[in-house]
Structures are given as C-alpha cells and as structure tokens.
Amino acid sequence: MELWPGAWTALLLLLLLLLSTLWFCSSSAKYFFKMAFYNGWILFLAILAIPVCAVRGRNVENMNPTWLCPTTRVPSTCLE
C-alpha cells in the first residue's frame, strides 16, 4: 500500500489523538491501557530473565539469591 510521505504521520497523529481521548474520557479504557502496559512490562522482564536462567541451569546453588552480588557470597561449605 503506497501512501504519500505525510500519510503515516497523519495516521500516527490521529491514533495518538484517539488514544488520548480514550484515556481522558473512559475509565475502562484507562484500565485496559494500564493492564496492557503491565503485561508488556512483565513480558519485557521475562525476556531479560530467560537468558539468565538458561545460562545458569538448574542447580541448588541457584536458589541462593546472593548470586546477584558475588562479593557477599557465602561459601557452599558454610551452608552444610
């Protein structure tokens, strides 16, 4: 679909106007926008966490949350 160069800008501005109107006039639309943002944020955090979990693998040591700060790591001999 070939549109003139300013058409995409006009469509984007129209969409922005529609969304801002819904945000200020409809409480249910505001709720759904907030839930969409929340779900997107959780998805983003999951995408960041998946490689970390894949690299570390399954191990009892991974249950210890101090892997985030290795300078305070407790030796595994002290845990027994």
The residue extents of the domains of the chain are: 28-55
How high does pLDDT run on average in the chain? 79
What band does 7 get if pLDDT is binned at 50, 70 and 90?
confident
In the block, tokens 């249910």 appear at 28
CA angle 61-63-66, nearest 5°?
80
CA atoms within 13 A on the CB side of 53: 7
Stretch 69-73: mean pLDDT, rounded? Answer: 59
In this prediction the pTM is 0.53
Across the range 17-45, mean pLDDT stands at 92
